[in-house]
Amino acid sequence: MADRATVLIVGAGPAGLVLGNLLRANGIDTLILERGSRERVQTRARAGFLGANSARVLTEHGLAAGMLRSGQSHDTCAFRDAEGEFELNYGELGRGEVHTVYPQQHLVTDLIAEYLHRGGRIRFDVTVTEIDAATATVRHNGGESRGRFVVGCDGSNGVSRRALPADLATRHARDHGIAWLAVLTEAPQSMTAVTYALHDNGFAGHMARSPQVTRYYLQVCADDDPAAWPDERIWSELAIRMRVDRFGPLREGPVTERRMVRLRSDVVDPMQHGRLFLAGDAASLISPSAAKGANLAIMQAEVLARALTDAVTREDEAALRAYSRTCLPRIWRAQEFSHWMITLLHGPAAAEPDAGFQRVLRRARLSSLRDSRSHQDFFAENYVGI
């Protein structure tokens, strides 16, 4: 016999879990289907930068206890290059907004616990094989589940996206041709701020995650094997790109995770068909250059929760029909800023015929950000907001 729920949600990431919690708060029956185990979902280390709107959504809907207890407020970032370093206190620029750093695996753990407390149902280790957008039927390794609506939050390579007819949905995609080695270290932060280092060897980034854990990024060749980067090599290259001879040593520690991240972006338009709606990376994959992924997911979840609540409780589907039109302008604004960050942080390959021109152009961009108040206000508004 098929499982039934008013809203079926495929995927237990930030988008699916925030959506499930908001729907349960409105008394709507939901079922989340997740392909991973609960342990895996709750231990996946992902980005932890929550913008002001995300913090608002979590706080207003009673989902922020862990974040408020353990999250760290960040209002400054720094840029380093051959000419020196400068800091931007973006908390005093633009709208005066800040980030809250709270590791995504901790947020997911909180959201699962609260969702279950609110009476939500979730099934782990479920592999979805097919979604019928017309009938809101989800087929999986445990049989099938049926609902009034289906929301796909299973990522850019999930089944949900493939359920949209190719002739009705356009995928706007770009591979930026850049790869990062994402490194998680058991080491206290070495700098007081998030730091972006621009170097001829490639980009390097420093992002604190907790008092004893720091995330680093290294731009590497796209075909590099993370195993070819032992701890010693990682710290050596970070020291070069972070210019420790000029700014002081890094606080080193064991590397606990190393994985490759390809900088890709894509957007599905529209993000809906029939009874199926997409959210999170299933709807819009964004490069990590500006930490927008989880924040876009939370924004989409809030918009969709309101629309689904209207449809279920008032039989008013106007907001559901407008879901794509409501979200896509904000998604594209985030994509534009992310692309701007990519061009700022990553220099040209040495073999490119106009590499010299591009390097000087990048230096001019950075100088403008350092010296122009209007440029700084633009940066702050887009860096924290969507």
pLDDT tens, residue by residue, 68-86: 999 999 999 999 999 999 9
Q: For the whole model, what pTM was predicted?
A: 0.94
Q: Which helix (H) or strand (E) holds 139?
A: strand 137-140
- Residues present in the chain in total: 386
Alpha-carbon span 163 to 266, nearest angstrom: 17
pLDDT at residue number 278: 98
Share of the chain above pLDDT 70, in %: 99
The secondary structure of 22-78 as a DSSP string is HHHHTT--EEEE-SS-HHHHHH-----EE-HHHHHHHHHTT--HHHHHH-EEE--EE
Alpha-carbon span 37 to 39, nearest angstrom: 5
> How confident is the model over 119-161, as pLDDT tens digits?
999 999 999 999 999 999 999 998 999 999 999 999 999 999 9
Domains of the chain: 3-72+102-174+264-340 (3.50.50.60)
Catalytic annotation, pick one of 74, 99, 106, 206: 74
Whose CA is closest to 103, among 209, 195, 217, 182? 209
Q: Is the pLDDT of residue 1 over 50?
A: no
Catalytic annotation, pick one of 99, 140, 292, 346: 292
Catalytic annotation, pick one of 115, 216, 323, 383: 383
pLDDT at residue number 47: 72
Alpha-carbon span 9 to 15, nearest angstrom: 9
Over residues 279-302, mean pLDDT: 95
383 annotated active-site: yes
DSSP alpha helices (H): ranges in the chain? 14-25, 38-43, 52-60, 65-70, 104-117, 159-162, 231-241, 244-247, 293-314, 318-321, 323-345, 355-371, 373-384
Q: Is the pLDDT of residue 2 over 70?
A: no
74 annotated active-site: yes
292 annotated active-site: yes
Count the neighbouring beta carbons within 10 Å of the beta carbon of residue 239. Answer: 15
Catalytic annotation, pick one of 288, 323, 339, 346: 288
Alpha-carbon span 180 to 291, nearest angstrom: 14
Share of the chain above pLDDT 90, in %: 89
Task: Give me 192's structure tokens.
Answer: 């007081």
What is the bridge-based pairing of β-strands 143-152 and 3-10? parallel
Catalytic annotation, pick one of 102, 115, 196, 217: 196
Indicate the angle between helix axes 355-371 and 323-345, nearest 10 degrees: 110
Q: Is the pLDDT of residue 46 over 80?
A: no
Q: Is the pLDDT of residue 210 over 90?
A: no
**Which DSSP letter does residue 271 get?**
S
216 annotated active-site: no
